[in-house]
Amino acid sequence: MDTAANVPRWTPSPSPTRSLLKEPETKANDAPSKRKSSVDELELQSIISEEDGKPAAAGPMFPFSTGNSTTGPDPPPYSGRYEASSMAIDMNEGKSYDGGKGLTSKGSRNGLLLTWTDLWVTVPGAKNGGRPLLQGLTGYAEPGEILAIMGPSGSGKTTLLDALAGRLSSNTQQTGEILINGRKETLAFGTSAYVTQDDILMTTLTVREAVHFSAQLQLPDSMPTSEKKERAEITIREMGLQGSADTRIGGWNVKGISGGQKRRVSICIEILTRPKLLFLDEPTSGLDSAASYHVMSHIVKLARQDGRTVVASIHQPSSEVFELFHNLCLLSSGKTVYFGPVSMAEQFFSSNGFPCPALRNPSDHYLRTINADFDMDVEKGHGGSTEEAISVLVKSYKSSEISQRVCLRAAFIREQKGGIPEKKGRTIYYDIGKTFGSIQARGSMLMFVAAFLTFMAIGGFPSFVEDMKIFGRERLNGHYGVGAFVVGNTLSSIPYLLMISLIPGAMAYYLVGLQRAWNTLSASR
Ligand SMILES: Nc1ncnc2c1ncn2[C@@H]1O[C@H](COP(=O)(O)OP(=O)(O)OP(=O)(O)O)[C@@H](O)[C@H]1O
């Protein structure tokens, strides 16, 4: 039987990928242009070596690395200098958002610019003041674009989304700055939406009912009902749910729509209001590659329309889906491995000695390179560990020009100080008017209150049944008898006597309250 060390690595043999910084030495008869590029590279290497304060040295080989440590020096950290011009187009401070998106650089016409600087999230722990979940992240998300957050399981994708959406759990501590349009603001109702990893849906409703009811609840009162219905129907079709619109969602007790369809219903409900800022946690989990592509391309369309900002964490995008993203934030153990345009990630990896083999999905390659969870399974003795690969990439990113440009861009966005959407309170049963319909709404509210109290009481029944058994045993064994006088006439029996006498009083008070509410209702008719 194969031992762990003899198990062949599952990575197919990588084909050589051209790395700008790993060219062989220039020969005298090389073309002048090639000679020049090599000179540039040498200059670049020397600059980087000077910056690092140490010479480039031969380094270890890493899993999925195609670099050869014995034939040449370790590639220097990526500086992004050879792409400075394209970066200038993508990320320069004066960038106009008007590329077909109808936006301007001045804080965007309608869109929301999200920036975060030196973001740390920690959970308090006994050792060294706590465990960091996110470590000094800086980045931005812009209108009309999709930022994909990727990384191995447990790398902090959901934590980053939660931090940006202001939903971190209470046991965490956050430091750093998160700004919306350059301001420290909480978002107004309906401005942002968050599709969580779990599908929390009403299992008894059909897809159509769930989406229609949500449209009635979320869309503004000023919108006619017919328009709300139309929006719901359009969104159902956009998410490819027309075939299952009349199927019950279902849950643990009744089988309903599939997991992937539930995912789409969750997205459908959150995009009904066409929010300016959309957070998606694993939007494509459970979807086949075609459905993933359709769902994501629709989200891209939404992002482009009127410049919506989308931040999505994603596990395993197909290459087609990956190409839909504009920016990539690659995390490992809460640290940034890469943040920048998707198109430049490949160069970043290859210049650090991890070129993406031909015919492999680049996103798969990045995740394999930085997934240290299964290091034990990787053949030992032929190279460095994934931990070392991660540390090379994290260090290289920190010192790269690309990271400096991200900081500059975030700083520029912070200074824009765009407008913030007006805040509107949304309270159910508020200001419902005096029409016949409003009387029905009041009746519904009273019914809800009564039913809530009743069902809360029913919730205690199972434990009451268990207690009854104990009571029966103890009574039959003569631990105590029944009757009012059992409570006794000592001082400690007074609270029990009070409790018993209060129950009918509380019930009477509740019934009188209901009667009064009914009278008020009748009077307002
Ligand atoms: N509130 C919390 N308290 C303690 N630990 C937490 C808390 N939230 C997250 N973590 C830890 O932080 C790490 C990152 O979690 P997170 O859910 O952000 O990962 P993820 O990248 O989204 O993973 P997955 O892809 O599996 O969903 C995990 O180790 C998790 O256990």
The binding-site residues of ligand 1, defined as CB within 6 angstroms of any ligand atom, are 123, 133, 151, 153-159, 169, 171-172
pLDDT (mean) for 219-245: 92
163-181 pLDDT, tens digit each: 998 889 889 999 999 998 8
Distance 493 CA to ligand 1 centre (A): 50
Distance 374 CA to ligand 1 centre (A): 18
Interior CA angle at 163 toward 157 and 167, to 5°? 110
pLDDT at 421 over 50: yes
pLDDT at 381 over 90: no
Q: Tell me, what's the pLDDT at 176? A: 92
CA distances (Å), origin 204, targets 250, 376, 458: 6, 46, 20
Nearest CA to ligand 1 atom 25: 153
Q: Tell me, what's the pLDDT at 145? A: 92
pLDDT at 497 over 80: no
pLDDT (mean) for 360-364: 91
CA distances (Å), origin 110, targets 11, 63, 188, 422: 46, 45, 14, 12
Instruction: State the DSSP code for 206.
Output: B
Q: What is the mean pLDDT of the chain?
A: 74
Round to whole Å and give the CA distance between 189 and 29: 67
pLDDT > 70: what percent of the chain? 69
ipTM over 0.90: yes
Contact between residue 114 and residue 141 where contact means Cβ atoms under 8 Å apart: yes
Nearest CA to ligand 1 atom 1: 169
Mutate to test the pocket of ligand 1, among 121, 137, 158, 282 (most ligand atoms within 8 A of CB): 158
**Greater pLDDT, 482 or 63:** 482
Q: Which residues contact 209 (CB under 8 A, 6 or more apart)?
A: none
For residue 88, what pLDDT band results from cuts at 50, 70 and 90?
very low
Q: Tell me, what's the pLDDT at 428? A: 62
Distance 155 CA to ligand 1 centre (A): 7
Distance 134 CA to ligand 1 centre (A): 10
Placement of tokens 């046991």 in the chain:
171
142-171 pLDDT, tens digit each: 999 999 999 999 999 999 999 998 889 889
Side chain identity at residue 476, one-letter code: L
**Greater pLDDT, 7 or 401:** 401
Round to whole Å and give the CA distance between 89 and 331: 25
Highest mean pLDDT range out of 249-253, 274-278, 501-505? 274-278
Distance 159 CA to ligand 1 centre (A): 6
pLDDT at 473 over 80: no
